Amino acid sequence: MADLTYIEKANIENFLGMKSGYVMDFSDRTFQEFVGEAVGLDINDPKYHYSSNSKANRLRQFIKVESNYTFGKLLSAFCDYWLSKVHTGEIDYHHDENLYKECVKIADRLKQESIVEHIDAIKPNADDRDFKLLAKSIRESIERNEPEVALDRLHTFTFKYLRELCDKHNISYDKADSLNAVFGKYVKFIVDKKHIESSMSEKILKYSINIIEAFNDIRNNKSFAHDNPVLNYHESVLIFNNISSTIKFIEFIETQMNKVNEQEKAQELSDDLPF
């Protein structure tokens, strides 16, 4: 359920013109198309039906059912749509300027709250079209509040992400190596190279190898990779948060290594200068 104050709800309803039962200038068809394009959901789904099936009532039910992030994304799209009408001269900017600004702020606040804390870490570490599409599809599943449907893709993403890191650092691995085996080799590399400062962090990473090993079973027996009963929502969120947090930490380690390498190269150039 989207977390809105009474005043925020009033501002949104006034901005979108919902008191009359409508939402902006959308027809039933264009409203369905707009919501589908903005957040990938069908506003005509029965779960959004509420008393009279007006567009405004469907949106009110949408707000009750969907997450902060999902409604924030839709509200942001409404704000962009309103601004496009201003640019074409169909709306006077000064007429609803304050409401527009308030709704932009509300949308920005809501979009900060995702069910996966570090979903921004799910991005490719190589310039590969298929890799980009894979990451995009995973993020979209989280935006739709459907983590369970993306578990197999998250496994594939993590595998490719770690292999790219091994290639970057010349860490040898076999094509037949499991996900946890590849991850174990990367962890050994960063530990041996003294990129981990504390013994606690080292232990967490090494224990994470066991967690990653369990991810293989989830992928094979609890995801859409095969004809399986899919894992429940809450455990899927737990897995997503664990994997994304690990990748976020790896991203930090890689950034630090890049800085050290750049400093070493700069020092080498400086040493070679004839003074």
CA angle (239 as vertex; 237, 241 as ends), nearest 5: 70
Residues 59, 78: Cα–Cα separation, whole Å:
12
pLDDT in single tens digits along all 275 residues of the chain: 678 999 999 999 999 999 989 999 999 999 999 999 998 889 999 999 877 789 999 999 999 988 888 899 999 999 999 999 999 999 888 888 999 999 999 999 998 777 888 888 999 999 999 999 999 999 989 877 789 999 999 999 999 999 999 999 999 999 999 999 999 999 999 999 999 999 999 999 999 999 999 999 999 999 999 999 999 999 999 999 999 999 999 999 999 999 988 887 777 776 666 65
Note the pLDDT of residue 44.
94
| CA-wise closest residue to 81 among 127, 23, 168, 130 | 23
Note the pLDDT of residue 180.
97
Note the pLDDT of residue 70.
87
Note the pLDDT of residue 58.
96
3-class secondary-structure state, position 53: coil
Which class for 90: exposed (0-12), middle (13-18), buried (19 or more C-beta within 10 A)? exposed
Handedness of CA 173, 175, 176, 178 (dihedral sign): positive
Note the pLDDT of residue 87.
94
Residues 169, 257: Cα–Cα separation, whole Å:
11
Note the pLDDT of residue 274.
63
Note the pLDDT of residue 117.
83
Note the pLDDT of residue 245.
96
Q: Report the helix count and the strand count for the chain, using DSSP H and E.
A: 10, 0
| CA-wise closest residue to 159 among 172, 175, 147 | 175
CA angle (86 as vertex; 84, 90 as ends), nearest 5: 105
Most distant pair of Cα atoms in the chain: their distance: 83
Roughly how many angstroms between the first and final C-alpha of the chain, as a whole number?
Answer: 67
Residues 185, 179: Cα–Cα separation, whole Å:
10
Pairs from 195-201 (Cβ < 8 Å, separation ≥ 24): 195/253, 195/256, 195/257, 196/253
Residues 165, 125: Cα–Cα separation, whole Å:
8
**Main-chain phi, psi angles of 148, to 5 degrees:** -65, -25
Tokens of 266: 């700069």
Note the pLDDT of residue 271.
65
What is the residue-wise DSSP string for 163-177? Answer: HHHHHHTT----TT-
